[in-house]
Amino acid sequence: MSQVDYPTLPGPEVRVSQYEVSFVPESSPARRHYTLRVVHKGFDRWAVTDGSLTLGSDGEFVYETGDDRMDLGWLEAHRFDLDTALDLAKRHAALMEVNGRTVHDVLALQAEEEN
């Protein structure tokens, strides 16, 4: 087919759809466990997740179900504008704990290993 046979397309839409927020350096194998994601959910609304759990405006992480996505009250409490979502992710990333080990513990252990 020649170029003439193709329909004229508008320019592609390019946008960021996810941010990672972590205090653990990218070089650390532990980073994946101590990283929150700010994920675009459409309509200029963003969710803060740890992969399987979604942060609510009450500061609690909960499992998100398909039914939740249809509940306007639930969505209002678990979807944020980008600035709010990034701020929440930064605050909660500092508080992450995995198997009893905090972000501070991981960073201290990494500093010891580097010395």
Range of the domain at 104: 15-114
8-19 per-position pLDDT tens digit = 888 889 999 999
| 47 burial level (CB within 10 Å; 0-12, 13-18, 19+) | buried
How many domains does the chain contain in total?
Answer: 1
The DSSP call for residue 58 is T
The DSSP call for residue 13 is P
Q: Average pLDDT of 55-82?
A: 95
Residue 3 domain-assigned (yes or no): no
The DSSP call for residue 115 is -
Q: Which residue has the higher pLDDT, 53 or 66?
A: 53
68 within 8 A of 78, measured Cβ to Cβ: yes
Stated pTM of the model: 0.87
d(CA 91, CA 68): 24
41 within 8 A of 17, measured Cβ to Cβ: no
* Residue 49 pLDDT grade (very low, low, confident, very high; cuts 50, 70, 90): very high
Residue 5: the pLDDT is: 64
d(CA 31, CA 27): 8
Q: Residue 55 is encoded by which pair of tokens?
A: 């942060």
Cα-flanking dihedrals φ and ψ of residue 99, to 5°? 50, 40
Cα-flanking dihedrals φ and ψ of residue 39, to 5°? -115, 130
* The one-letter amino acid at 75: L
Residue 102 domain-assigned (yes or no): yes
Residue 7 domain-assigned (yes or no): no
Percent of the chain with pLDDT over 90: 83
Residue 66 domain-assigned (yes or no): yes
Residue 10: the pLDDT is: 87
